[in-house]
Copies of this chain bind each other. A is one copy, B any other.
Amino acid sequence: MEVNHINPSCPHCGHGDSKTKCVQRVPIFNHLDPSQMNAILSVVRSKIYRRGELIFRAGESSSALFIVNRGRIKIYRLSESGKEQIIRFLGPGEFTGEYALFSETIHESFAEAVEETMVCIIERDDLHSLLLQYPSIALRLLSEFSKRLESVERQTTWFGTETVERRIALYLLECAEQGLLFTLPMSKKDLASFLGTTPETISRKLREFEEAGWIKQRPHRQIEILDQSALANL
C-alpha cells in the first residue's frame, strides 16, 4: 500500500521519534524501563491510513496489535442481516487487534479509519515474545482487557434492559462527565448504530430533550447539558 509523505516528520522518512511518542502515550506502556522500551520500539512499525480505509476486516486471519498514534478508528461488526453495529471508537493512545491476537481465530469485526490516521503496529509473534519476556506488560494488557469487558458488558446491559430514550440519556450523561458542554465524538448516524437505534429516533429524542429544557444543541455537534437529574430520572 502507498503512503502519502505529507510532512517532513513522517516516520517513514527516517525521523522515527514519533514512534517513540506513540508507544509512550499508550497507558499499558507507561513508565517502562529503557530496555523494555527499546524491545518494543525494535518491533514496532507504523503506517498511515486514509479516511475510510480498513485497518482489518472480518474474515481475515492475519493479526497484529494496532495502536492509534493520531487520528481515529471505528470498530464495528456486521450482523447476519447486514446492519452495522459500532462497538467502539479508538483515539490516540488506544489500541485494538486483540481478538485474533491470542486465539487462533479470524477477525469478526472491521476497523476503519474515520479520518487520516497513523497507526503503530506490533505483529502477533513479536508481541507474544515481548509478553513472555516482560510479564508485567502482560499484566497491564490483562487489566486493559478486563476494562473493555466491563465496558462492553455495560453496553449489552443497556441494550437488553433500557429503552432507546434512556440509552440516549445515559450516553449523554456519560459524555457530560468531561464537562456539561461537549462535542459528540461521532456523527448522529454512527451514534444511532452505537446505541442500537436509528438516526431518526436520535434526532427526535434530542429534540424532545431540548423542548423539555434538559439540553441545548449547538452547531458542530456540540451539546450542552442543562438538567442532569432530569435525564437521569427518565
Binding site for B on A (CB under 8 A): 77, 79-81, 83-85, 87, 98-99, 101-103, 105, 108-109, 128, 131-133, 135-136, 138-139, 141-143, 145-150, 152-162, 166, 170, 193, 195-196
Q: What's the minimum C-beta distance from A225 to chain B, rounded to whole angstroms? A: 17
Query: Given the known A-B contacts A79-B161, A81-B161, A83-B161, are A108 and B166 also in contact in the complex, defined by CB atoms under 8 Å?
Result: no
The CA of A149 and the CA of B149, in the complex, are separated in Å by 6
The CA of A161 and the CA of B156, in the complex, are separated in Å by 12
Question: Considering residues A155, A157, A193, which has the most beta carbons from chain B within 10 angstroms of its beta carbon?
Answer: A157
Query: Given the known A-B contacts A160-B85, A166-B81, are A108 and B150 also in contact in the complex, defined by CB atoms under 8 Å?
Result: yes
Query: Given the known A-B contacts A79-B157, A85-B156, A153-B87, are A102 and B143 also in contact in the complex, defined by CB atoms under 8 Å?
Result: yes
Q: Are A85's CB and B157's CB within 8 A?
A: yes
Known: A77-B157, A87-B153, A131-B142. 6 other contacts (CB 8 A): A83-B160, A99-B150, A103-B143, A103-B147, A142-B142, A152-B152
Q: Which residue of B lies closest to A128 (CB)?
A: B139
The CA of A139 and the CA of B139, in the complex, are separated in Å by 9
Mind listing 17 A-B residue pairs with CB under 8 Å? A77-B154, A77-B157, A79-B160, A79-B161, A80-B162, A99-B146, A101-B146, A102-B142, A103-B146, A103-B147, A131-B135, A135-B135, A149-B152, A156-B156, A159-B160, A159-B196, A160-B193
The CA of A136 and the CA of B149, in the complex, are separated in Å by 22
Q: Which of B79, B99, B138 contacts A138 (CB 8 A)?
A: B138
The CA of A99 and the CA of B147, in the complex, are separated in Å by 7
Contacts of A128 in B (CB 8 A): 139
Which 6 residue pairs spanning A and B have beta carbons closest together? Answer: A160-B196, A102-B143, A159-B159, A79-B161, A135-B135, A83-B161
Q: What's the minimum C-beta distance from A132 to chain B, rounded to whole angstroms? A: 5
Contacts of A150 in B (CB 8 A): 99, 103, 105, 108
